Amino acid sequence: MKVDVLLGLQWGDEGKGKVVDVLTPKYDVITRFQGGPNAGHTLEFNNIKHVLHNIPSGIFHTTKMNIIGNGVVLDPISFKQEVDELEAKGMDLSQNLLISKKAHLILPTHRILDAASEASKGKTKIGSTLKGIGPTYMDKTGRNGLRVGDIINNFEAKYEELKKKHEQLLSMYDFEYNIEDFEKGLKEGIECLKKFKLIDSEHKINEYIKNGQTVLAEGAQGTLLDIDFGSYPFVTSSNTICAGACTGMGVAPNKIGEVFGIFKAYCTRVGSGPFPTELEDATGEELREAGHEFGATTGRPRRCGWLDLVALKYSVMINGVTQLIMTKGDVLSSFETIKVATSYIIDGVETTEFPYELPDKIEVGYTELPGWKADLTGMKSEDEFPEELKNYITYLEKELEVPITIVSVGPDRDQTIVRS
């Protein structure tokens, strides 16, 4: 069997958690392959909302296996909080959650370094979630990091040694901190991690594939936040794209099957950085209110704008998307007209190619389509879709040259329509 991958095509928060939960019954194993607690993946069923940060979104299907892969960065403190919350809901994770020994650990001093780095940047800050993601991946590539496998022997001594290096780095910043505040819960977090099966997940995942079991890899963040192809430097520190699933799990490229690319029917972004179709007006506000666009991890208001086909085509190309999933079309139901960006005009020259660098303010060429002015949230089949929505979908499929196979019309598991 092959590994299917589901990943975000925009700046994150496309609805990955919801759709992974919906697709989980079709799979035996769900994995995370990059990112860490900067992710906030929301799932809703039985009128209850759950937000996951470190744990794959297959976890609520108790017969399925969930794996935190080697490409993930794991914070023991935030991980324990998440485990505690799920256990308080009556769940027992010990049987269906495995963790790669090669996943790198986010340490308290990584979070301090993240905060110090952001504070030093002032107005040019990235808008990091301050979860320590950047400094942890820096230690990974700098070959200083500690991995989950390091907690088994002498963890404290290893931590103290790395902490000294981090304190030296921190002394270069004009940044005050109380290390004890950041270290609270570390010991308990490490003990919590020890209760789980810590494995060489690349062997396990390849064994699943060989035995004919099905695996779905769940991306975090989105393609436009990718460290190589996103709007650098306003990106995260991992490869969020399909290729990241190979390195983040130890799966060969020829073992990748379907690539599900998920996008909102409009666009959002949290944190700083260019956003060509951003609406800094009443329309943007309307989108934010209707879409409840506030961060699942930080609570920050998300910046909102029209769908950007220039960026979306780029994401489809970089990931080799084979099926598209569109979410939140229901949020656009009050709009008479819906705009879609089809080109950028940079220095007077029109382009449809996502450029090396996006200027802060950019002229955008739009195509306008009629809105559907109908409540989609109760619809159960695409036959019920208004003509205008059908046209919107057909238009996007033609432009992107990939079929839209799933349309999500609300946050609940049940509000998901699979197209024939």
Residue position matching structure tokens 């598991």: 413
Annotated binding residue 132: no
CB of 132 to ligand IMO, least distance (A): 8
Residue 13 sits in the site that holds Mg ion (CB under 5 A): yes
Q: Between 296 and 404, whose beta carbon lies closer to ligand IMO?
A: 296
Q: State the binding partner of 24 from ligand IMO, ligand GDP, Mg ion, none, CB within 5 to 8 A by kind.
A: none
The yes-or-no answer on residue 41 being catalytic is yes
Residue pair 184/138 in contact (Cβ under 8 Å)? The answer is: no
Q: Which of 136, 100, 104, 101 lies closest to 237 in space, CA to CA?
A: 136
CB of 119 to ligand GDP, least distance (A): 25
Question: 11 vs 27, which CB is nearer to ligand IMO?
Answer: 11
Q: What is the DSSP secondary structure assignment for residue 321, as one 8-state letter?
A: -
- Residue 248 binds ligand IMO, judged by CB under 6 A: no
Does 410 sit near ligand GDP (CB under 6 A)?
yes
CA 264 to chain centre: 13
- Residue 329 counted as an annotated binding residue: yes
Q: Which of 54, 128, 315, 416 binds ligand IMO (CB under 6 A)?
A: 128
Catalytic residue at 166?
no
- 186-223 b/e with 16+ CB inside 10 Å = b? beebbebbeebebbebbebbbebbeeeebbbbbbbbbb
- Structural tokens at position 144: 């200083």
Burial of 378 (0-12, 13-18, 19+ CB in 10 A): exposed
Q: What would the x/- binding string for ligand IMO be over residues 13 to 52, using CB under 6 A?
A: x------------------------xxxx-----------
236 binds, among Mg ion, ligand IMO, ligand GDP, none (CB under 5 to 8 A by kind): ligand IMO
- Residue (102 or 269) nearer to Mg ion, CB: 269
**Which residues, 295 to 354, sit near Mg ion by CB under 5 A?**
296
Residue 246 structure tokens: 């190979």
Which of 102, 110, 140, 255 is labelled catalytic? Answer: 140
Query: Which entry of 4, 21, 41, 50 is annotated as an active-site residue?
Result: 41
Q: Does 40 bind Mg ion (CB under 5 A)?
A: yes
Angle at 268 between CA 42 and CA 266, to 5 degrees: 100
Number of H helices, E strands in the chain: 12, 20
Residue numbers 224-243 binding ligand IMO by CB under 6 A: 225, 236
Q: How far is the CB of 126 from ligand IMO (least distance, A)?
A: 5
Q: How far is CA 203 from the centre of its chain?
A: 25
Q: At 389, which helix (H) or strand (E)?
A: helix 387-400
H runs (alpha helix) in 171-293: 179-183, 186-194, 201-210, 242-247, 282-290
Q: Which stretch binds ligand IMO (CB under 6 A): 8-16, 78-86, 165-173, 258-266?
A: 8-16
Residue type at 364 in one-letter notation: V
What span, in angstroms and rounded, lies between the C-alpha atoms of 384 and 17?
25
Round to whole Å and give the CA distance between 153 and 335. Answer: 59
Q: Is 204 a catalytic residue?
A: no
What beta strand segments (E) does 141-288 contain? Answer: 197-199, 215-218, 256-264, 267-269
Among all residues, whose Cβ is closest to ligand GDP? 42
* Residue 129 interacting with ligand IMO (CB under 6 A): yes
Nearer to Mg ion by C-beta: 13 or 330?
13
Question: 331 touches which of Mg ion, ligand GDP, ligand IMO, none (CB within 5 to 8 A by kind)?
Answer: ligand GDP
C-alpha–C-alpha distance, residues 383 and 234, integer Å: 41
Tell me the C-alpha distance between 342 and 43, whole Å. 32
Q: Does residue 131 belong to the site contacting ligand IMO (CB under 6 A)?
A: yes
Positions in the binding site for Mg ion (CB under 5 A): 13, 40, 296
Annotated binding site for IMP: 13-16, 38-41, 129, 143, 221, 236, 300
Positions in the binding site for ligand GDP (CB under 6 A): 8, 12-18, 40-42, 44, 292, 296, 327-328, 330-331, 408-411
Positions in the binding site for ligand IMO (CB under 6 A): 8, 11-13, 38-41, 126-129, 131, 133-134, 220-222, 225, 236, 270-271, 296
Residues annotated as catalytic are 13, 41, 140
Annotated binding site for GTP: 12-18, 40-42, 302, 328-330, 408-410
